[in-house]
Structure 1
Amino acid sequence: MIDLLSYTCIGVGIFFWFWGTFPLIGQRSLLFKLHTLTVADTLGSMSILFGLLLKIPSKWPLLTLAIISLAMWNTMLGYVLAYCSSREGSYERE
């Protein structure tokens, strides 16, 4: 049962990776594409790590640290990119 749940989490994670990649082809703005990609990548990676945590419970400290680090890193990176794009956008308006 745990193996099935683990493989389901890993499969959902891989689905999120591909799902976040498809909007890159569309005609939306760069920030929308970047937001979609980073959110889907974060959720996908965290789902894969959770699936690995179920599969290899003896490595829970390392995998838990990886999940927390991934969530913090992608959140901070999103804020930095949004700040940089808003500052760059203000220069174009002047």
Structure 2
Amino acid sequence: MIDLLSYTCIGIGIFFSFWGTSHLLTQRSVLFKLHSLSVADTLGSMSIMFGLLLKRPREWPLLLLAIICLALWNTMLGYVLAYCASGEQKYE
């Protein structure tokens, strides 16, 4: 049962990764593309990490740290990329 749940989480994570990448091919704005890619990538990566956590429960401190770092890093990187893509930088 745990293996099935683990593989389901990993499969959902892979699906989110491909789904976020597919938004890059649309005709929407760059900010919309970056937002959808960063959200899907964050959810996909966290789902894969959760699936690995179910497979390897003894490694929970490292995998929990990886989930927290993914949540923080991808959120910050999304804001930085959106700021850079918006073209509102002021060089002083």
Structures share fold, TM-score greater than 0.5 = yes
- The answer (yes or no) to whether the contact 2:42–2:71 under 8 Å persists in 1 is yes
Query: Which one has a larger percent helix, Structure 1 or Structure 2?
Result: 1
SS of the counterpart of 1:80?
helix
Is the contact made by 2:38 and 2:74 (CA closer than 8 Å) also made in structure 1?
A: yes
Does residue 14 (structure 1) correspond to residue 28 (structure 2)? The answer is no
Q: Give the structure-1-normalised TM-score.
A: 0.88
2:27 is paired with a residue whose SS is: coil
Secondary structure of 1:27's counterpart equals coil
Question: Counterparts of 1:1-94 in structure 2 under 5 Å?
Answer: 1-86=1-86, 88-89=87-88
Shift of 1:71: 0.3
Count of residues paired in the alignment: 90
AA partner of residue 77 (structure 1): L
1:46-92: per-residue Cα shift (whole Å, max 9, x none)?
00000000000010000000000000001111222233344x2477x
Among the aligned pairs, what percent are the same residue? 77
Unaligned runs of 5+ in 1: none
2:9·2:47 contact (CA, 8 Å) conserved in 1?
Answer: yes
Contact 2:30 2:85 in 1 (8 A): no
Root mean square deviation of aligned Cα: 1.4
Asked which structure has the greater CA Rg, the reply is 1
Q: Give, as a single letter, the amino acid of the residue that structure 2 aligns with 1:43.
A: L
